[in-house]
Amino acid sequence: MRVSMPHMGNIYIPFKALFQRLKIDFVMPPISNQRTLSLGARYSPEGLCIPFKMTLGNLIEAAELGANTLLMPGGNGICRLGYYTRIQEQILHELGYNVEIIQLGVSERKFAGLLEIIKRVSNDAPWLKIISAFRFGLAKLNALDAVERLVQKVRPVELVKGTANQIYAEAIRAIDKANEYNILKKVKKDYVSQLNQVPRNSQVKPLIVGITGEFYVLLEPFSSFDIERELGKMGVEVRRTTFISEWTKFSLFLNPLGINEKDKIHKAALPYLKRDIGGDGWESVGEKVLHAKEYDGLIHLAPFTCMPEIIAQNIMPSTREKIPVLSIICDEQIAKPGILTRLEAFVDLLERKRRAENKKRQRVTI
């Protein structure tokens, strides 16, 4: 059994660690790139969203490298993601690949479901070994997200542009390589300290821009034009509440105990949207309402043809909580230079808004 799975940000690192510990033959497809997207778009039915196309591209590239058992996230939510596994499997068969796709239906069976699938692909490894390997993968995931959160804070204020990104790239490689808890702990500490020591411009008070929208495009930088880095270069601090480590903590462990991290955000969205509309649409509206006072602006990432985010996009302008929102549609037809121009214009607008607010405040105090 040669196992593979699609990319979504750095998620391959914890899974790789887990598979290595269980001696599962893991085939890693190339990090998502233009070819991945072109392949996915070429073989996808028309009108499907970028998560479908990108993951299909990843699965084709994995099959080209000899993978025959593919793990693909799915779910029983309202959006069409629940159908993707079967459609992708059919496409791969039609292309001549003899593969089986196993759906990671973590939203239904939670932790138990995930462990059962790992047991199956590990050729019935003992439970203790599976749990221990899973814990190590989780430790890597937490380390990756801790470093990334810090990078988001350093990028806009670093004196030499690109320093945080360089340290981040090294940190990802080192976390990936760490094969023991003590090494992982040391690597995390070391890179957190390096990031804390990056020379910063203490005079600037960066604009704060929240990023919300659909889960996949929030977490897979290639699909969303790497806008967090681009905003960092423009001196903007990005705030994103969606991290895979957070999602794992709640979705696999705390939600089954009745603790729902989304209660607050759903409550915030209630005056404008009374129910789940699938995907992350409800949360997108809630994020705008909840953080309107905290952020200077909000970027809403919405895959083209994603109904939940289209609904959210149309509700956002009518909320009482006012904050500039830039909606970015993610699709293979959109070119990055156009996105950069829109980002620059948005940042310019936020800067002017902040200057105007500061002047108003000064006049009031005089």
Q: Which of 206, 279, 286, 297 binds ligand SF4 (CB under 6 A)?
A: 279
Are 319 and 344 in contact by the 8 Å Cβ rule? The answer is no
Q: Which of 51, 73, 210, 286 binds ligand SF4 (CB under 6 A)?
A: 51
Is 310 a binder of ligand SF4 (CB under 6 A)?
A: no
Q: Quick one: tokens of 82?
A: 């629940």
Is 57 a binder of ligand SF4 (CB under 6 A)?
A: no
Residue at 58: amino acid letter: N
- Residues in contact with ligand SF4, total (CB under 6 A)? 11
Cα–Cα distance measured from residue 16 to residue 25, given in angstroms and rounded to the nearest whole number: 10
Identify the burial level of 287 via C-beta atoms within 10 angstroms of its C-beta, where 0-12 means exposed, 13-18 middle and 19 or more buried: buried
Is 40 a binder of ligand SF4 (CB under 6 A)?
A: no
User: To 5 degrees, how large is the angle CA 265–CA 220–CA 157?
Assistant: 80
Segment interacting with ligand SF4, rule: CB under 6 A, options 29-37, 152-160, 231-239, 303-311: 303-311
Q: Taking Cα atoms as reference points, which of 245, 213, 226, 223 lies closest to residue 58?
A: 223
Segment interacting with ligand SF4, rule: CB under 6 A, options 76-84, 168-176, 237-245, 264-272: 76-84
For residue 328, the SS3 value is strand
User: CB of 211: closest distance to ligand SF4 in angstroms?
Assistant: 15
Is 306 a binder of ligand SF4 (CB under 6 A)?
A: yes
Q: Which of 28, 54, 60, 81 binds ligand SF4 (CB under 6 A)?
A: 81
Residue number with CB closer to ligand SF4 (280 or 296): 280
User: CB of 244: closest distance to ligand SF4 in angstroms?
Assistant: 15
- Count other C-beta atoms under 10 Å from residue 271's C-beta: 12
Residue number with CB closer to ligand SF4 (170 or 331): 331
Residue number with CB closer to ligand SF4 (184 or 328): 328
Q: Which of 6, 14, 29, 303 binds ligand SF4 (CB under 6 A)?
A: 303
Q: Which of 15, 97, 168, 216 binds ligand SF4 (CB under 6 A)?
A: 216
DSSP, res 7:
-
Report the b/e string of 64-76 with b at 16+ CB within 10 A.
eeebbbbbbbbbe
User: CB of 107: closest distance to ligand SF4 in angstroms?
Assistant: 12
Residue number with CB closer to ligand SF4 (99 or 306): 306
Q: Taking Cα atoms as reference points, which of 235, 244, 230 lies closest to residue 328?
A: 230
Cα–Cα distance measured from residue 72 to residue 8, given in angstroms and rounded to the nearest whole number: 11
**Contacting residues for 240 by C-beta, under 8 A, at least 6 apart:** 152, 210, 211, 212, 218, 228
Q: Quick one: tokens of 248?
A: 């794992």
Which residue shows structure tokens 């999602």?
A: 247
Is 308 a binder of ligand SF4 (CB under 6 A)?
A: yes
Segment interacting with ligand SF4, rule: CB under 6 A, options 16-24, 125-133, 301-309, 317-325: 301-309
Contact set with ligand SF4 (CB under 6 A)? 49, 51, 79-81, 214, 216, 279, 303, 306, 308
